[in-house]
Structure 1
Amino acid sequence: MQHLVLPTRALKVVNKSIELFHYNGFHLVGIDRIVKESEIPKATFYNYFHSKERLIEMSLTFQKDGLKHEVMSIINVQKELTLVEKLRKIYYLHADLDGLYHLPFKAIFEIAKTHPKAYQTVVDYRNWFINEIYNLLLKSNENASKQDAHMFLFVIDGAMVQLLDPNKPDERKRLLEYFLLGFG
């Protein structure tokens, strides 16, 4: 999906949907609730989005675009940071229940079979992310492998799973530090 240009009312619906999906999941939030909480007629919803899957795809695209912008800023704009500092910032950007990655992470478990086109947005982001991390790792370690980049994403995903369990302590720092031992 290319850059989205939406009217203000449609953006309001996307933002409200992101909030609703974030806190309630994709399956528990229907079009009727989105329409009611966004204060728009159902016909307007269908005029803008055509389907719930299209709205989910747009919501995930907004999150994906925000994440890409932040990751690229850390990698390319914050040049004074070391590799480890960049990895830390990227890690905490993602391993955050209130952050931009929470909704795409949730989508991995909730929409793969029911909304495959929207799910592809998450797959595309994860593939892009792995490539960016791999390129970042290569800049300071010529022996870095694509598997290292995959492992970094798995560490992020593991941190997210732990954060979602209210009975588990926050182990984000320990998980990250264990990964970073090899890239000191």
Structure 2
Amino acid sequence: MTRDEPDTRPSEARRRLLDTAIRIFYAEGIHSVGVDRIIAEAKVTRATFYRHFPSKDDLILAYLREVHRMERGMVDAAITANPSPAESLLAVAGAIADRITSPVFRGCAFLNAAAEYPDTDHPVHQEIIAHREWFLDTITALMVQVHEETADSAARHFVMLRDGAMAAGCLFDPALVSETFLRGVEGLLRVNTERQSAGSAR
């Protein structure tokens, strides 16, 4: 990099702040964690914090956007690695099941945040809705390729199975919850694949 070129590398301090927020917000909740604790655990000054995040809400939005980026990467990888839409959907479900059985699993970051930010006009709530719309749209696009006529309802069914598994995974045996979730997705896909086959045979 020459003297005249701007340094566009992410700030190390910002990365530490965001990594700290991701870890603590997810494990303990958002409202219960103050800015002072984030600053202390990230080992930055207060001035550095506010230079990168003018308010706690800005940090929360960055946290949710980073979680979205990670989840989108997981979903995109599952789709890319599997040639058929049904296999892609099973791979997405498998990745979700793996997360539920992780030792650090504390539920869905977005559902957790929604419980803390119920005001639909709040930017945090709107960020949550944007993430969920992306996920539903992604699943719907795959379901269209399985059976177009029932794609919308099947995609909503998939998302509800996922939401239920994310909640149950914090309360019951994660391995059993994951297995039940996968069986539910397999059954959903089997029904819609059979509908597609029956329609093609006519």
Alignment root-mean-square deviation, CA: 2.5
Structure 2-normalised TM-score?
0.78
Instruction: Give the number of the structure whose alpha-carbon radius of gyration is greater.
Output: 2
* Equivalent in the alignment of 1:88: 90
Deviations 1:106-155 (A, max 9, x none): 11212233992122222111101111111101112122331211111111
TM-score by length of 1: 0.85
Query: Take 2:173 and 2:35, find their aligned partners in 1: how far apart are those partners?
Result: 33
Partner of 1:152: 158
SS state at 1:40 partner: coil
Whether the aligned pair in 2 keeps the contact of 1:84 and 1:183 (CA below 8 Å) is yes
Consecutive unaligned residues of structure 2, counting only runs of 5 or more, are 1-8, 191-202
Among residues 67, 74, 99, which one is paired with 1:70 in the alignment? Answer: 74
Contact map agreement 1:66 1:100 (CA 8 A) in 2 = no
The one-letter code sitting in structure 2 at the alignment partner of 1:32 is: D
> Does residue 110 in structure 1 map to residue 120 in structure 2?
no
Q: Is the 8 A contact 1:74 1:90 kept in 2?
A: yes
Unaligned stretches of 5+ in structure 1?
none
CA distances 1:46-70 after superposition (whole Å, capped 9, x unpaired): 1110111110100110110121122
Name the CA shift for 1:102/1:52 in 2 (closer, same or farther; >3 Å).
same
Aligned residues: 178
Alignment of 1:166-177 (within 5 A): 166=172, 170-177=176-183
